[in-house]
Amino acid sequence: MPAVHGQRVIEADPAAEIALAQTLATRCTQAEIMVQFERFSRHDGVVDEMMRRVCLRAMLRACGDGVRVATQVGLRHPETMSLGDGVSIGMQTIIQGRFDGRCRIGQMTWIGPHCFLDARDLDIGDHVGWGPGARVLGSEHVGVPADLPIIATDLRIAPVRVHDWADIGMGAILLPGVTVGRGAIVGAGAVVTRDVPDYTTVAGVPARVIGRRAAAPADHAGRVDMETV
């Protein structure tokens, strides 16, 4: 069975959509545009989907053509986010940014339903598959001093990077500061605590290298230790 999303042909969005987004961005506040985004997030349909896209283009730092956003998607600080051409975001996914943060999702990347993205310092490359329910955390409390509740201690924000062509399995979790290499596969339910090398497959809790993709390009060839990542 051939791929569906990965084989999409992206066409330029209609000029009328782009003009409407520019009008909203000029005349409305972010809060007002968000109200409309949430209004059109309740139902499927041609008009609802178009208006979600219009609102996104008016709010985001950058928004490519052919973006698809399903119903009940939640965004916090969308002004810090960039979406490439052909990005698809599944139903009830939450993307939580920060007022001084940065989030980029590259072209043709597919984000499944029911995902949580801590988007305070997040970069997801091109043609990435992000399975349903997969999550990424970009911050953690330092936990010291011990005479304070952990949630009252300082917060450490660490960048998370997922390179082009990677695939994140259903229910996987990426912890703060990790990088997933180009063409790597993270198995379903894996908890990634360390960097994942290019073109490797990891699985488990914590995730470990369990294999290497047979078709890895020659310039990425080399021995990969079977270590915890």
Tell me the pLDDT tens digit for each residue of 52-86. 999 999 999 999 999 999 999 999 999 999 999 99
Distance CA 119, CA 105 (A): 10
Provide the pairing of β-strand 208-212 with 200-203. antiparallel
Summarize the confidence of residues 45-55 as an average pLDDT.
Answer: 96
- In the Cβ-directed half-sphere of 76, how many Cα atoms lie within 13 Å? 14
Directed axis angle between helix 46-59 and helix 15-27, to 10°? 50
pLDDT at 93 over 60: yes
Residues forming the active site? 141
Q: Which H/E stretch holds residue 122?
A: strand 121-124
- The domain 72-220 belongs to what CATH superfamily? Hexapeptide repeat proteins (2.160.10.10)
Question: Could you tell me the two tokens for 173?
Answer: 């979790």
> Where do the structural domains in the chain lie, given as residue ranges?
13-59, 72-220
User: Cβ neighbours of residue 38 under 8 Å, at least 6 residues apart?
Assistant: none
Tell me the pLDDT tens digit for each residue of 200-218. 999 999 999 999 987 666 5
Instruction: State the pTM of this model.
Output: 0.90
